[in-house]
Amino acid sequence: MSGVRKLVFGCLDELEFSIQIVVARKIESIFKGKHAQSQDAFYNDLTSHLFERQLHLASQNTILFARRGNKTQQHSLRGAVEAGVAAFRKKYPKAVATTVNIETAYSSDEPLLQAADYALWAVQRAFERSEMRYFDFIAPKVELVWDIYDFASIQAGKPVIFTRKNPFHIEKVSSLG
């Protein structure tokens, strides 16, 4: 591991945060059909999946996204979060109401966004290279890794949602091929 990465992961170890990650395999038919070949639609779908499971846990939520693109894309992110809230409320209509404040910032200005970038990179390395060493550094911070398009595991009745009780390891997911 390079000296800079080692320092960054050392800082992450000392930073108080937790992260939940939604993973989606690159499946062309889903990208073309469900997302109409739009990266924004794809990203927003993942965002909705993440927040449909979490926003009910607090009566007030502040969500900080890395600033990307223009105002239209920022409004699209808000719509993705609102879709997640709506999906949750449809499943659990008696759940406590929650207010959601959505903010954006540049990653360079917000340490927690930088932490999220490194955590996501570590998960990406696990999926693309079967390399767990970077993930292992941040594993104590990871509350959830949800592999939403691992259809082979779903059909086999295996978990696609990894938690602290069932920790993520790349050997637990079905082949990407």
Strands 60-66 and 19-23: unpaired
Range of the domain at 91: 3-172
- Whether 31 is covered by a domain: the verdict is yes
Kindly report the number of other CB atoms within 10 A of residue 131's CB atom.
14
Number of domains the chain contains: 1
> Quick check: 138 pLDDT over 90?
yes
- Whether 52 is covered by a domain: the verdict is yes
- 3 state SS of 36: coil
- Whether 35 is covered by a domain: the verdict is yes
Read off the pLDDT of residues 78-110 as tens digits, 9 standing for 90 and up: 777 777 777 777 877 777 777 888 888 888 899
| Predicted TM-score of the model (pTM) | 0.83
Q: Which residue has the higher pLDDT, 36 or 1?
A: 36
C-alpha 4/C-alpha 94 separation (Å) is 48
- Whether 87 is covered by a domain: the verdict is yes
Read off the pLDDT of residues 146-165 as tens digits, 9 standing for 90 and up: 999 999 988 998 878 999 99
- Whether 56 is covered by a domain: the verdict is yes
Read off the pLDDT of residues 16-64 as tens digits, 9 standing for 90 and up: 889 999 999 888 999 999 999 988 888 888 888 887 777 667 788 888 8
- Whether 177 is covered by a domain: the verdict is no
Length of the chain: 177
